[in-house]
Amino acid sequence: MKRLSSLAPLIALAALVVVSVILLTRGGERETFSGGLIGRPAPEFSLARLDGGPPLTNADMRGRAYVINMFASWCTPCRAEHPQLMALEASGVEIVGVAYKDAPAATARFLTELGDPFRAVALDPDGRFGLDVGIMGVPETFVVGADGTIRAVHRGPLTPEDVQSTILPALPD
């Protein structure tokens, strides 16, 4: 009996590890949860631009489909997805980058180092726009239709498969 009671903490720890591994490795939930955003109008925004130009607004994008990518220079998964954004831009997709809770100088260094796939780069230093679109963390990507509604949401870093299965189908032909 004493031996069993001395093993109880080890058994509890092993059970906790198994449950944690299962929860962390199950697929799909982070990437596909849209929070009911699909089909709703994208939030109104007016964000300062990284280049210091006039604020970027949703009115600037009205009438055409585009992608919003929430990213940050301090975000390792953002670095991992960056080649997908470069490929999307090279294929003609308009992408608006929103630097989430990032210093402008760090954002500029990030884009200089990895390349700039964005039509415009807006700043969200306090995370207010992130709250408006309901992000859970960076990176996150939203497809906005020409009518201003959100057509697709991808949470987490984009992979080539995500681009093919989620992003491109939500854009017009």
pLDDT tens by residue, the chain, 173 residues: 666 677 777 776 767 666 665 665 555 444 445 567 899 999 999 999 999 999 999 999 999 999 999 999 999 999 999 999 999 999 999 999 999 999 999 999 999 999 999 999 999 999 999 999 999 999 999 999 999 999 999 999 999 999 999 999 999 86
Residues, the chain: 173
Which two three-digit tokens encode residue 108? 């500029």
List CB contacts of 132: < 8 A, sequence separation 6 or more.
43, 45
Q: Which residues of 83-97 are buried (b: 16+ CB within 10 A; e: fewer)?
A: ebbeebbeeebbbbb
Distance (Å, whole) CA 44 – CA 60: 11
pLDDT of residue 36: 76
pLDDT of residue 128: 96
pLDDT of residue 123: 98
Choose among 156, 152, 149: nearest CA to 165: 152
Burial (Cβ within 10 Å: 0-12, 13-18, ≥19) of residue 74: middle
Which two three-digit tokens encode residue 125? 């230093």
pLDDT of residue 37: 87
Q: Which CATH class is domain 29-170?
A: alpha beta
Distance (Å, whole) CA 57 – CA 35: 23
Which two three-digit tokens encode residue 59? 């009115």
